[in-house]
Amino acid sequence: MISSFTTAIVSWSEDNPRELPWKETNHPYHIWLREIILQQTRVEQGAAYYKDFLQSYPSIHDLAQAPLDEIYKKWEGLGYYNRAKNLHFAAQQIVNEFDGEFPNNFKDLLRLKGVGNYTAAAISSFAFKKPYAVLDGNVFRVLSRYFGVNIPIDSTRGKKHFQQLADQCLDTKHPDVYNQAIMDFGATLCTPRQPLCDDCPLSSNCIAYHEDKILEYPVKSKKIIKQERFFNFIVIQHNDSIIIQQRKDDDIWKNLFQFPLIESKGKVLTTSELLKTLKLTAKNVTKSKLYKQALTHRLVYGQFLHIEAEYIEKGDDWLEIPIEEIKTYSFPKIIREYLNERFYYLY
């Protein structure tokens, strides 16, 4: 059953090639960059960032030497900004600890910041043709459905079981070909909500298909409960300048920029409630619509109070910049949406 599964997956891939910008490379730097970008990111979105990063930083040395704020700006729109910080740190690790050469063994790859078992397996197989099976969301889904495995994928037992199953299915002679094939299969055919079972070459032996339980796989034991947070951003404009600040606390969006913030509980604040807390003289006050951004464990609601101030009593960490320079700073998605609407002429 396993050998026929592997053969069918590879055969399907050969008949249904997927055009991707990294398909023809086995350069470890390129593969590592791709894998970090594609964590928590759709391929269609990540492809443009992959091309831009390679154009801006052709080598690992270029990436290691770049300022972190510049990396954040290039990463803007991808989310999960800790990936960008880890990317930069790992590039410096490779330059300083490995003389700029990518480590070619699994153990050393795991030493790199932000590289876990999946990424190390991807680099090992795609760059160095070593027999490591990748195990991402697509692979979990395909394996769990085909073999009817109902062990939760987010449990210790489940992770161990699926890794063993993935290893058994791997084409050890051509690990890169098989790994790419099964990921493409999950991404385009065996999709999460609307799998194309009628077109699937594996459906005749797929347990989930025959039990009519396709959408019940893969099984998860933990349900994510999102915490709601309410952000009131104060957009202070003084003549042709505007106030921003950098997030420094160990919280979401660390090191990104924002407008001065008042976080409230249960709801966003009214204009009068906000003005009572501010020590400035305002000419025109405009409150924005309510914006929303969903994160893995949080649901952030944000509104923006735009104030044209005659006098500013600056906060200790406030930075006053010319308005036209605002596009050079990196902001969270919810703030960029506001900027694109309020200051559209700058973008």
- Give the active site residues: 35
Pick from 83, 90, 88, 81: nearest CA to 330: 81
Stated as kind and residue range, the H or E segment containing 43 is helix 43-56
Strand 298-312 vs strand 227-238: parallel, antiparallel, or unpaired? parallel
| Distant-in-sequence, close-in-space partners of 108: CB < 8 Å, separation ≥ 6 | 98
Q: How many CB atoms lie within 10 A of CB 51?
A: 12
For the four alpha carbons of 162, 147, 184 and 131, in that order, the dihedral sign comes to positive
Instruction: Extract the tokens encoding 244.
Output: 């921003």
What is the SS3 assignment for 240?
Answer: coil
Q: How many CB atoms lie within 10 A of CB 340?
A: 11
Query: Strand runs (DSSP E) across the chain, as ranges?
Result: 227-238, 241-246, 257-258, 261-264, 280-287, 291-294, 298-312, 319-322
Q: How many helices (H) and strands (E) does the chain have?
A: 14, 8
